[in-house]
Structure 1
Amino acid sequence: KNVLLLGSGAYRIGSSVEFDWCCVNASNTLRKNGYRSILLNYNPETVSTDYDVCDRLYFDNIDLETVLDIYEREQCVGVIVSVGGQIPNNLAIRLHEAGVNILGTSPVDIDRAENRHKFSTLLDEINVDQPPWAEVGSMKDAMNFIQKIGYPVLLRPSYVLSGAAMGVATSEVETQRFLEKATDVSPEHPVVITKFFENNQEIEVDAVADRGEIIAMAVSEHVENAGVHSGDATLVFPPQRTYLETMRRVRNNTRKIAGSLNVTGPFNVQYLSQGTSVRVIECNLRASRSFPFVSKIYKQNFIEQAMKAILGMSPNRIEQSLFDIDYVGVKAPQFSFTRLQGADPTLGVEMSSTGEVGCLGDDFEEAFLKSLISVGFTLPIQSVLMSTGPLGDKVSFLDGARMMHEQGIKFYATPGTSEFLEQHDIPSEIVHFPSEHRAPSAGDLIENRA
């Protein structure tokens, strides 16, 4: 029984070792259960392309023609598209139309999740809350919808990885720019505009289902507010600041989605949360880049469970409670801004990180501190540059500023922030925005590593 596994291809932002870990564990599970693992991948840096990981390796492009040729040559009983990231997932419908047996979740259901319009319609049908949305085909449609809901809005193409061509628009000019970009990246699929909610927490669910019934689920929380891509966010598992009622709603909604899409295999759902209200952002019917992390923290191999479900082996449900985990895991991003001239270090809905670390601690603070040290932060910090934006952001950071002042940390601040700090008895040295062309400049401060 030959099974063809599609790998993740070249390393790039959004697709790296995490998906290769999934491919390797999928291959190992196939071989343990009497199947021959046929792997298609073209990256010599991966573990999955090592000679002893699979029974046969095809080092070639992951495209429709190549997959069909290998499928026919090897007389495969099926193809698995759910462990190699977005490239294999994007081939599911075309492979299905060519007569290929896709193992796991049906390609029709994959399309219902990947197509923004179809997925938003599904959520409305099953009464799962989501931000207000509309499918748009022109600038006129977009502006008509935005007039109803107001800015900011999020523009999202379908079938993309790492937030490609997504953008948060706050004006008509930005809307036009993001709409053109989204249409260029995914011209065959609709662009959906949704209301963008500020100051919301993001919650992420990695799960495995068997014919629509969830058998394993891990709920993580982001340190950063929603609006930072999940690949750039700091992930905490088990959650430390999420309400139990929020967790209950997230779990119930995830079960509804899995049942409606008849999921068999790995999948990932992302939520917005404010208080105890939750809204769905998106669902991917494939393994996510956080599967290795939650598997290690949970001490349960989610990919092995997913493969058993895909192969029809009816795996047992994992009943372990989050309260049984007596440590905290933090997954933190690694960036390469200092090595890429002209790179914009501002984080947003399109992924920027080039690596990550995973750390454990007895509590969140210990694990988080370890993660900061691991990605290259120099501790202790001697000075901090602050430019905190609107008054609400200044107020929310005040307690943290007081704590740092008590630790003897020096503050540099832009004029508005400096005035606010002085009003609350926190001394700071004023620096000006680079665009003002006045000394001392915040840009010079950063360049000189003050």
Structure 2
Amino acid sequence: MQKSIKKVLVLGSGALKIGQAGEFDYSGSQALKALKEEGIKTVLINPNIATIQTSEGIADQVYFLPVTPYFVEEIFKKEQPDGILLAFGGQTALNCGTELYNKGILDKYNVKVLGTSVEAIMNTEDRDLFVKKLNEIGVKTPKSIAVESMEDAFKAAESIGYPLIIRSAYALGGMGSGFCYNEKELKELAENAFSYSNQILVEESLKGWKEIEFEVIRDKNDHCFTVASMENFDPLGIHTGESIVVAPTCSLDEKELALLQELSKKTIRHLGIVGECNIQYAFNSETDDYRVIEVNARLSRSSALASKATGYPLAFVAAKLALGYSLDQIGEMGTPNSAYVAPSLDYYICKIPRWDLNKFAGVSRLIGSSMKSVGEIMSIGKSFEEIIQKGLRMIGQGMHGFVGNSDLKFDNLAEELSHPTDMRIFAIAEAFDKGYTIEKIHDLTKIDPWFLGKLKNIHDYKLKLQTYDHIEDIPADVMLEAKRLGFSDFQIARFVENPQGNMEAENIRTRNYRKKLGILPSVKRINTVASEHPELTNYLYLTYDGSDHDIPYYKNDKSVVVLGSGAYRIGSSVEFDWCSVNAVQTARKLGYKSI
């Protein structure tokens, strides 16, 4: 570790915004925890009072100030830190750090950027530099021209050819971006994009290609690997934050996966990133052609997802790497508790976004390259069918999983499928009801047939359940398969009994019958890496696709369950994370086991 580092300033992300939310409280808190473990004094700048990282006992000093160069310089004068961390506060912190560097403020106060250098950050953020850098090693990027005037935007469009995607440089959550098919649309989009940034990017459209993402970690000794592979359920053209994301990748074969993993390592090494980053690809499975869309030299929403999904604490490890540790020094080498190797998964996870668009009058429900979702959930299971059904119940918008939301009806189904909205997944369920084939839905949505095939399995099993007249007629193997495919007792009762009145009574009847058949879930666990007590790891999930429990059952009279608030909504967000964490910590101090 760098012995000279005694005090570090961490840049937070400020107020929650659409496109930048609780994930940066998580990454910042992890970084502060890692610094504290090393006995380093920590200073945090973040005006958001509702976060964990601004709570007592996390950082030594907290400044509730805007994350801007002016205020950071004032903190430099007063606190005189030795180092600064830029990668834990989202795009806000990254942009602020770049400005501090360009204005010479970091040099003036002799503050060292820990982890990935500002030059490497600028190589990933400035499109021109990024493309030049990747051209040096023959890695393909989308044909792209960075422009600073309308006139140049039209020239760029002419040289690349329509359709195009327009994006703002240095913007968060895809702000100001969109697709255009002619000059009129280009003019509208470019004018909008210039209102967010003085540099915009005119790029070839790869709409309909697969979007694949990797979290990559690299230490100072050049030990580098991909920690998690993720695949967007939606094809390119829908922002990752607007998309259902599944890990590990589902529709790629071993050869395709290996190709992209090798490209990831090659790219990250060449960019000189130390710590954690993510790399996004557009991938065409028919031709095995690819483009690197972007590299985020910072923690992101995907990294929070990947940390929970794999049990590999990316932010914690990235902070240790920034202090000069190598991966073999984090956790315990040669054990599953070491940060030196990537975790392997024997389960699937998916992230599903939640929108709150019905709270606004007149807002377009269409989703695309600019983010509108306000929250998300993660579900864990042994099959895609299980995680998608569980996940849709968790977001509170499709109360009955993938099938059974008969109150949702679409006037123009083909339009709904080809122009995605926040309700598209339920439109797919209705399309199966109306006899659409997988091929037809694929043509309209460009969603990979692998995913559509799994959704059709759920639809087909619903039809099977509807052939029974009474709950007690269902054989044990049919009931087990329904549970394995993620059907809730409530859903099963609905398809078999079709009750008009007391759903709750039917639900209880179904549950009692299922238990009588001996069909019960097993408790499974995600092992966590580099944790203080690996045997007490706390990420648990229930599945009907396993026979034994991963952990023994402890009868414990002194235990307390804390109910969290679920996916962020407008009017309910990170403040309830703060409340839950404080409740759990207090319970623990009083000697209770907290759940």
Normalised by the length of structure 2, the TM-score is 0.64
The alignment status of 1:299 with 2:311, answered yes or no, reads yes
**1:231 aligned counterpart, secondary structure:** helix
Q: Does 1:282 align with 2:303?
A: no
| Alpha-carbon distance, 1:240 to partner | 1.4
Unaligned runs of 5+ in 1: 408-450
1:41-440 matches, within 5 Å, as 41-96=46-101, 97-98=104-105, 99=107, 100-187=111-198, 190-211=199-220, 213-215=223-225, 217-275=227-285, 276-316=288-328, 318-320=340-342, 324-376=344-396, 377-379=398-400, 380-382=404-406, 384-385=409-410, 386-389=412-415, 403-405=432-434
- Distance in 2 separating the partners of 1:75 and 1:95: 15
C-alpha distance in 2 between matches for 1:68 and 1:223: 43
Indicate if the aligned counterparts of 2:353 and 2:376 stay in contact, CA closer than 8 A: yes
Query: Which one is further off, 383-392 or 252-261?
Result: 383-392
Aligned twin of 1:411:
none
Stretches of structure 2 that go unaligned for 5 or more consecutive residues are 1-5, 329-338, 420-425, 437-595
Q: Is the 1:298–1:325 contact (alpha carbons within 8 Å) kept by the matching residues of 2?
A: yes
Residue by residue, what CA displacement relative to the aligned partner does 1:351-400 show, whole Å, maximum 9, x if unpaired?
A: 0000000111111111111111111213212264243259999xxx9997
Q: Does 1:4 align with 2:9?
A: yes
Percent identity reads 30
Given that 1:26 and 1:304 are in contact with CA atoms closer than 8 Å, whether structure 2 keeps it comes out as yes
CA distance in 2, matches of 1:180, 1:347: 20
Supply the distance in 2 between the matched residues of 1:129 and 1:236 (Cα, whole angstroms): 24
Conserved 8 A contact 1:77-1:101: yes
Q: Deviations over 1:148-186 (max 9, x none)?
A: 433210112211110011121111111112212222211
Structure 1 residue 403 displacement after superposition? 4.1
| Number of matched pairs | 400
Q: Which residue of structure 2 aligns with residue 34 of structure 1?
A: 39
Q: Which moved more, 1:190-199 or 1:301-310?
A: 190-199
Q: Which amino acid aligns with 2:229?
A: V
Q: Is the 8 A contact 1:157 1:166 kept in 2?
A: yes
Contact 1:28-1:53 at 8 Å conserved across structures:
yes
TM-aligned CA deviation for residue 402 of structure 1:
7.0
Question: Residue by residue, what CA displacement relative to the aligned partner does 1:58-101 show, whole Å, maximum 9, x if unpaired?
Answer: 11111112112212322211010101101110022232221132
Q: Which amino acid aligns with 1:366?
A: E
Q: Which structure: larger Rg? A: 2
Instruction: Check whether the contact 1:271–1:280 (CA below 8 A) recurs between aligned residues.
Output: yes
The 8 Å contact of residues 116 and 272 in structure 2, kept in 1 or not, is answered as: yes
Deviates more, 1:13-22 or 1:273-282: 273-282
Shift of 1:268: 1.5
Deviation at 1:401, TM superposition (A): 6.2
Q: Is the 8 A contact 2:12 2:46 kept in 1?
A: yes
Counterpart CA distance in 1 for 2:130 and 2:94 is 16
In the alignment, residue 158 of structure 1 is paired with which amino acid?
A
Q: 1:392 to 1:356 in 2, by over 3 A?
A: closer
Classify 1:78/1:399 alpha carbon distance in 2 versus 1 (closer, same or farther; 3 Å). Answer: closer
> In the alignment, residue 133 of structure 1 is paired with which amino acid?
S
After superposition, the Cα gap between the structure-2 partners of 1:352 and 1:398, relative to the gap in structure 1 and judged at 3 Å, is closer
Deviation at 1:297, TM superposition (A): 1.5
- Cα distance in 2 for residues equivalent to 1:129 and 1:22: 30
Per the alignment, do residues 216 and 252 of structure 1 end up closer, same or farther by CA in structure 2, a change over 3 Å counting?
A: closer
For 2:418 and 2:97, locate their aligned partners in 1 and report how far apart those are by CA, in whole Å. 46
CA distance in 1, matches of 2:280, 2:360: 30
AA aligned to 1:159 is Y
Q: Which amino acid aligns with 1:306?
A: A
Residue type of the alignment partner of 1:292: A
- CA 1:15–1:303: 2 relative to 1, 3 Å: same
RMSD: 2.3
Which whole-Å CA distance do the structure 1 matches of 2:135 and 2:231 have between them?
Answer: 25
Work out the CA distance in 2 between the residues paired with 1:218 and 1:42: 32
Aligned partner letter, 1:229: H
User: Which letter does structure 2 place at the counterpart of 1:381?
Assistant: N
CA distance in 2, matches of 1:218, 1:33: 27
Give the Å deviation of 1:207: 2.1
Deviations 1:16-62 (A, max 9, x none): 11111000000000001121121111111111111121122111111
- Give the whole-Å Cα distance in 1 for the aligned partners of 2:156 and 2:280: 24
Distance across 1 between alignment mates of 2:69 and 2:225: 32
Distance in structure 1 (CA, Å) of the matches to 2:41 and 2:360: 42
Q: Check 1:389–1:245 CA distance in 2 against 1; reply closer, same or farther (3 A cut).
A: farther
SS of the residue 2:256 aligns to: helix
Per the alignment, in what secondary structure is the counterpart of residue 185 of structure 1?
coil
Distance in 2, Cα, partners of 1:239 & 1:333: 18
Q: Using a 3 Å threshold, how does the CA distance of structure 1 residues 363 and 139 change in structure 2: closer, same or farther? A: same
Contact 1:207-1:302 at 8 Å conserved across structures: no
Is contact 1:200-1:226 (8 Å) kept? yes
Cα distance in 1 for residues equivalent to 2:427 and 2:18:
35
Which residue number in structure 2 is paired with residue 410 of structure 1?
none
Contact 1:215 1:318 in 2 (8 A): no
- Partner Cα distance (1:179, 1:406) in 2: 41
Cα distance between partner residues in 2 of 1:176 and 1:361: 46
Deviations 1:403-438 (A, max 9, x none): 42479xxxxxxxxxxxxxxxxxxxxxxxxxxxxxxx
